Chain A
């Protein structure tokens, strides 16, 4: 089976769910889970059979000849890890949504549509097609957050969608300009990359496209949708948002903006690197003073995505490989942490205020263990994937300028501080009011355990054996850098 079937199967799953009766809740959940699992299996299969370098073209047919649009899907070492990530987050997200009782059918239909759109963005090799999938992934988020969310959900949902849409508006302008500046013949990314457009056009098109996608990657100062969106979203949606949707932005920055506009990139390289560093430090510093458990994780996402941007901006092998691996790693870490906060803790205590929580280690020890592992990976402890990714980004940044690396490294200390602080206050410390009436708290359910174990296992496997992903990432980063020159 080819990897592009992930898109079709997921769409089919969403369509099938729409046809099921709305009261068959368990059936709907299982259909969703099987769809997700099939996607994950296909992604994993794709990673295993991939031979290490170059593109595997999955589909390449003319779609709208009048505009030179092709239906072109391909995988290489840069997007395969993200396809795999999307599969993992999809399956675990469904597992952590097992307890949703309200409008189950619509929830999973929207959820799978979003997932299918994300698969599409990761594999699209035509700028128009990429844009189509990209926008297709935006709209379901609104409904998922506004209907099933919490804490100012309508505000958070609207803010998130409008930010993404304004970002894609900027991209739209840039794409049109680039298309016609390049002769108006083709939207195929690989074809367009062969004939870069005039330098003076690249210089203003690049920031439009990069920042437009960067909005979704949580690039400072366009990150403000991220914390409010993450907090408002239901658990599975927070996992998706932080886990894969933010990666849509950074991946599209890499695949479209950086590949197509090398001169523009050279012109703006330092800006991106510094915005990345500011994002890293700002996110970490703000996370340090949050009182809401979910906001901590929300801002930590901004901080970790800063590493991705910094790594991309370095334009060397170490930094960029680190950035791609960081996308994967942070996807898993963020999903795990949001699962702990949103599903394991909030659904049981109905509060996320650090002051009101405490002593949960006694009542739900599994959540505590999960948070310790997720937190350790977030802090960049050796042995977890986060370490491998961030150290590479730092090495890459150091080659660019020691100052960048030094400032970015500072954030690791701050990250440890806010993670440990949260760990202390939520799981140890004085008993919160919910622990005092702990008898009412339901035990951790099987889907939660399965989901958490999948995510933790991934962290450890990639942490201990990073070459599993790094080999293909590095080989493709080399050819990417070679293609740009």
Chain B
């Protein structure tokens, strides 16, 4: 079989650009950076990284016309949905870079930004493939970059512990994933999602399929931090440098959920099962129904007692993984649309929230709740942005988080509108959002109600404010005018 290289190059335009820029960033910092101040180096190298990210978005424009171009074995896929998500990932990475420029990340500036870009490349690849081996490689590329980034506070014991924990859990999850994939390959003789789907449809159920599916769910469940594979998240979120936390919580989540949707809806469409009340059937919907329940309950309840803002947001993101899974359990195209919409909203919101934490915590002396006392007076603009992000996470209209959640739950009810089979899960999710309002308001109480010990104003650089205001604007717009994106996703998901 002869391979046509031109479309491959075209399909990999963004990734290629990012590889080149990542290498350039490394060399640049090595050559001219070493003698300068760290802050100056961050600005310089960060600016180059930003430029590279902007550059990497250009090939996407050229791909817009390509609908469902599949390269041999579906190793690379280009379609509008992939383009949208690649674009989202590039924007998320760019905002992460902007947050990082302002943050103390030690002296290895070039390596930091290069790792960030490598991580982004992994995510882009992850989104742009429908083949298990490539998914695996891309997942590893992302994960390894993130392990390294987590450990970037070289003098902080917590950062090291977090990285080690993240790495060990990650390694085990990867083992599960590979093991599961080997079973799936053994069953179907295929590694690309569509062929697996077709082969499984012919075969019917098989106990080996159950083992393989479960192992795949463990591997991907680790990435999206769903209970019971969430144990790394609070420590990693707390210990990692905050911009890295933001990246783990957003970019990595977006890519992982995207791939999870694709794997389940395309390859395992025949093993859905059912999580309808009183009509449980084994399959991934049932498994995810249970993990969604556990994630929503544990994430929200554990968040209540947290005293550290990053840990609080970590548990909140476990809870949010639970809400998102509710949309997947619906196993319908509306459900998939809702998941993808919510993931975008969630990522923008959380990126903003962690961005504010990153900006304020370093200047307020720490990231415990007490350090945020009286922030509304010390940094009124960033506090206002944080209010927007937190209320969106809590699901208060007219913000994106509200509409996203509404649509997720609506999709879950819709899939069995006659008997309300999933209403139990939806009801649980709604009740748990009411619980979540408590800890979000506690955070707001610290920022808006309690007095600060030291009332000096906190000044933050303009580019950071701009980046975060951009996130907040996105959250508001997605809440008030969700229709354009929603209609677009809806039309594209049908062809998934």
Contacts and interface: CB of A to CB of B under 8 A. Distances in A.
Interface of A: 63-67, 106, 128, 131-133, 135-136, 138-139, 142-143, 146-147, 154, 158, 161-162, 165-166, 169, 172-173, 176-177, 179-181, 184
B437 A66 contact: no
> Closest 4 A-B residue pairs measured CB to CB?
A180-B417, A132-B397, A169-B434, A146-B449
Given A131-B397, A173-B426, 11 more contacts: A66-B487, A128-B406, A132-B398, A135-B396, A146-B445, A146-B448, A158-B441, A161-B441, A162-B438, A176-B410, A176-B413
A169 B486 contact: no
A217 B398 CA distance: 23
Given A172-B430, A176-B410, A66 B486 contact: yes
A66 B413 contact: no
A133 B480 CA distance: 12
B449 A143 contact: yes
A176 B409 contact: yes
Contacts of A138: 396
Interface of B: 376, 391, 396-398, 402-403, 406-407, 409-410, 413-414, 417, 420, 423, 426-427, 430-431, 433-434, 437-438, 441, 444-445, 448-449, 482-483, 486-487, 490
6 contacts: A67-B410, A128-B406, A135-B402, A146-B449, A158-B438, A180-B413
A64 B437 contact: no
A184 B414 contact: yes
A142 B410 CA distance: 28
Given A66-B483, A169-B433, A169-B434, A177 B413 contact: yes
Contact of B391 (A66, A128, A139): A139
Contact of A64 (B433, B445, B448, B486): B486
A173 B423 contact: yes
Q: Which of B402, B409, B438, B449 has the most CB of A within 10 A?
A: B449
A169 B376 contact: no
B482 A64 contact: yes
Contacts of A147: 448-449
Given A64-B482, A65-B483, A154-B449, A142 B441 contact: yes
A446 B20 CA distance: 72
Contact of B430 (A106, A135, A173): A173
A73 to B, nearest CB: 15
A180 B449 CA distance: 41
Contacts of A132: 397-398, 402
Contacts of B396: 135-136, 138-139
B426 A165 contact: no
A143 B448 contact: yes
A139 B410 CA distance: 23
Nearest to A145: B449
A166 B444 CA distance: 19
A158 B439 CA distance: 10
A198 B131 CA distance: 47
B413 A162 contact: no
A64 B483 contact: yes
Nearest to B337: A66
B434 A166 contact: yes
Contacts of B398: 132, 136
Nearest to B414: A180
Contacts of A179: 410, 413
Nearest to A62: B483
Nearest to A110: B448
B441 A169 contact: no
Contacts of A143: 444, 448-449
A173 B482 contact: no
Contacts of B376: 106
A133 B444 CA distance: 21
Contacts of A136: 396-398
Contacts of B423: 173, 176-177
B397 A169 contact: no
A142 B391 CA distance: 12
Given A66-B490, A147-B448, A162 B410 contact: no
B437 A162 contact: yes
Contacts of A142: 441, 444
Contacts of A128: 406
Nearest to A167: B434
Contact of B417 (A66, A135, A166, A184): A184
A158 B410 CA distance: 28
Nearest to B334: A66
Contacts of A161: 437, 441
A436 to B, nearest CB: 34
A165 B483 contact: no
Contacts of B427: 173
Residue among B423, B433, B434 with most chain A CB within 10 A:
B434
A162 B391 CA distance: 14
A181 B426 CA distance: 15
B437 A165 contact: yes
Contacts of B445: 146, 154
B337 to A, nearest CB: 8
A162 B438 CA distance: 7
B434 A165 contact: yes
A121 B445 CA distance: 26
B391 to A, nearest CB: 6
Contacts of A158: 438, 441
A136 B476 CA distance: 13
B431 to A, nearest CB: 6
B52 to A, nearest CB: 36
Nearest to A64: B483
A15 to B, nearest CB: 12
Nearest to A142: B441
Contacts of B430: 169, 172-173
Contacts of B487: 65-66
Nearest to B433: A169
A177 B483 contact: no
A176 B425 CA distance: 13
Contacts of B407: 67
A172 B410 CA distance: 10
B436 to A, nearest CB: 10
B493 to A, nearest CB: 12
B409 to A, nearest CB: 6
Nearest to B409: A176
A405 to B, nearest CB: 37
B10 to A, nearest CB: 33
A64 B423 CA distance: 23
Nearest to A105: B380
B438 to A, nearest CB: 6
A106 B387 CA distance: 13
A135 B449 contact: no
Contacts of A173: 423, 426-427, 430
Nearest to B416: A180
A374 to B, nearest CB: 31
A135 B426 contact: no
A124 B317 CA distance: 33
Given A176-B410, A179-B410, A181-B417, A135 B437 contact: no
A455 to B, nearest CB: 30
Contacts of A146: 445, 448-449
